[in-house]
Amino acid sequence: MTENDSKLIHAFGALAELGHEITNKNNFQETIRTSLHLISGALGIMRGAVARYSRFGHELNMMAVRGLGDDFPLSLSLTTEDERQFLTNGLVPIDIQSAKVLPFFQVYDASFERRRLELFVPLVVREEIVGALFLGEKATGEGYSNHDKEIICAMGRHIGVAIAQRNLMAEIERHAEENRQLFNEMRSTYHDTVKAFAAAIDCKDKYTEGHSVRVGKFSEVIALELGWGSDEVEGAAVAGYLHDVGKLTVERKIINAPYRINAKESAELNKHPAVGYEILLPIHHPFTDVPLAAKYHHERLDGRGYPDGLYDREIPFIAKIVNLADSFDAMTTDRPYRARRQAKDVVEDLQKNAGKQFAPELVTSFLGGMLKELTGEERNKRFRRLLGREYMEADGIVDKLRYTLNEMAPTTPMTYIAAAASVGDRPVH
């Protein structure tokens, strides 16, 4: 085997390793460092550097430097003329003497000379500058042969492609980040709009101030207790906020009537679910069930609700959630014709109407959430914040909740007995 054959085999080995290194998902900086080692080791080059081109700063920034000393400039500014010449030259090694005509070389010539650089290779990939190689003298003391330059070109192309891919990934990540920010801004705008709508709806009814907001929050609690994901929970809250949007078209004197309204007025008021649906339908909500919640939030499982008298499974699930949240708020707030009911009575009412008006699984989830808050298992004081601490911490409410939940979804007979005993309703032995 001739020495040239041996050199070629050695260089091919380095080229194969370079390919492997670049396709591995290693740390990019480390990949470039290893690439410089591979070029140097393939041809026995004493020193060198690999730079990445920044098209924003118009500069070559060193990513890997070997043996060029601490005073070697780590960032080289390029002129438009440099860039033009790089592109014209393409990925072809330039001897240092020829490179001296480049404007940037004239600025850094002393540094390059001191470090005995012999070859400069612009890394141009798909007609874009991505970086450059700076190579010092060979350990043999000989100049670079055409064979050497071909090997350098092949290895430089690999490194150039690796940098180009990295640039592309960075660009994609930047766009993805921009899109994420844009999406979050749009989402925030949507939520502000929804809340503004809820406030507008509530403004119309002086007796139920904050009703839509509370229904939104209670719907959110139910969805959370059902174990829904954050997007779905958000959807449930929006459905709650907007469920009464149809009331915007109902006369204020009917909504604010300080007495039980008559049949005619009731018929007028009962149009608000259908009107709400018509208002919400053309809007492109991120949650498609929002208009359905507005339309069917007065339906009941037993078919005695309105507007369509739907039964159980005919009612959209989101409407069942909003129905429960809506009814709970109606029972727990003062109305012009009656004071709000005690929390224990409300719990009893929900239990009594589970399976008739309300979906039982939603009642147990909702009451379960309430119990978790009162026992400290849930730190977020959602109910206390919305209904007042005194109201929610009334005597016996925790026992009442435990007892009700055991009755609705018993866990073991023992817990049933214990809960029953604690509310003074001891079973017969």
Partner 1 sequence: MNDGAATPVEGNVIFAGDYINKLAGEQIEHEAKRRLADGCKQLTVNFSKTEIINSIGISILLGVIDSASNKGATVVFSDVNENTVELFDMLGVSKHVTLA
Quick one: 37 or 285, whose CB is closer to partner 1? 37
- Contact status: 157 vs partner 1 (CB under 8 A): no
Query: Closest separation between CB of residue 365 and partner 1, Å?
Result: 57
Query: Closest separation between CB of residue 152 and partner 1, Å?
Result: 13
Instruction: Determine the 3-state secondary structure of 49 from DSSP.
Output: strand
- Contact status: 301 vs partner 1 (CB under 8 A): no
CB atoms within 10 A of CB 139: 11
- Contact status: 237 vs partner 1 (CB under 8 A): no
Query: Closest separation between CB of residue 142 and partner 1, Å?
Result: 8
By CB under 8 A, the residues from 118 to 147 that bind partner 1 are 138-142
- Contact status: 384 vs partner 1 (CB under 8 A): no
Q: Between the CA atoms of 116, 119, 125 and 130, what dihedral angle is there, to the nearest 10 degrees?
A: 10
- Contact status: 19 vs partner 1 (CB under 8 A): no
Distance of alpha carbon 422 from alpha carbon 227, whole angstroms: 29
Region binding partner 1 by CB under 8 A among candidate stretches 8-16, 178-186, 248-256, 376-384: 8-16
* Backbone phi, psi, residue 94, to 5°: -115, 125
- Contact status: 376 vs partner 1 (CB under 8 A): no
Which string of x and - marks every residue 161-200 that binds partner 1 (by CB under 8 A)?
----------------------------------------
Token pair 């014709």 is at which residue?
337
- Contact status: 150 vs partner 1 (CB under 8 A): no
Exposure class string for 69-97: b at 16+ Cβ within 10 A, else e: eeebeeebebeeebbebbeebebebbebe
Region binding partner 1 by CB under 8 A among candidate stretches 13-21, 52-60, 193-201, 308-316: 13-21
Q: Mark residue 7 as left, alpha or beta (left: phi above 0; alpha: psi -120 to 50; beta: remaining).
A: alpha
Distance of alpha carbon 97 from alpha carbon 365, whole angstroms: 80
By CB under 8 A, the residues from 63 to 82 that bind partner 1 are 66-67
Quick one: 11 or 419, whose CB is closer to partner 1? 11
Quick one: 14 or 250, whose CB is closer to partner 1? 14
CB atoms within 10 A of CB 226: 18
Quick one: 38 or 397, whose CB is closer to partner 1? 38
- Contact status: 424 vs partner 1 (CB under 8 A): no
- Own/partner contacts of 3-10, CB < 8 Å, gap of 24 or more, are 4/147, 7/147, 8/147, 10/42
Query: Does residue 240 contact residue 293 with C-beta atoms inside 8 Å?
Result: yes
Query: Closest separation between CB of residue 45 and partner 1, Å?
Result: 8
Query: Closest separation between CB of residue 140 and partner 1, Å?
Result: 3
Instruction: Determine the 3-state secondary structure of 125 from DSSP.
Output: strand
Query: Closest separation between CB of residue 287 and partner 1, Å?
Result: 53
Closest CA to 311 of 278, 359, 352: 359
Quick one: 86 or 144, whose CB is closer to partner 1? 144
Paired with 123 in beta bridges are: 131
Distance of alpha carbon 425 from alpha carbon 90, whole angstroms: 91
Query: Does residue 277 contact residue 291 with C-beta atoms inside 8 Å?
Result: yes
Query: Closest separation between CB of residue 229 and partner 1, Å?
Result: 45
Query: Closest separation between CB of residue 98 and partner 1, Å?
Result: 24
Quick one: 12 or 183, whose CB is closer to partner 1? 12
Query: Closest separation between CB of residue 318 and partner 1, Å?
Result: 59
Closest CA to 26 of 123, 168, 162: 162
Exposure class string for 392-406: b at 16+ Cβ within 10 A, else e: beeeebbbbbbbbbb
By CB under 8 A, the residues from 22 to 61 that bind partner 1 are 34, 36-38, 40-47
- Contact status: 17 vs partner 1 (CB under 8 A): yes
Query: Closest separation between CB of residue 6 and partner 1, Å?
Result: 6
What would the DSSP string read from start to end of 210-256? THHHHHHHHHHHHHHHTT--HHHHHHHHHHHHHTTGGGGGS-HHHHT
Quick one: 2 or 412, whose CB is closer to partner 1? 2
By CB under 8 A, the residues from 387 to 406 that bind partner 1 are none
Query: Does residue 236 contact residue 228 with C-beta atoms inside 8 Å?
Result: yes
Number of residues that bind partner 1 (CB under 8 A): 26
Quick one: 134 or 296, whose CB is closer to partner 1? 134
Query: Closest separation between CB of residue 101 and partner 1, Å?
Result: 29
Residues that bind partner 1 (CB under 8 A): 3, 6-7, 10, 13-14, 17, 34, 36-38, 40-47, 66-67, 138-142
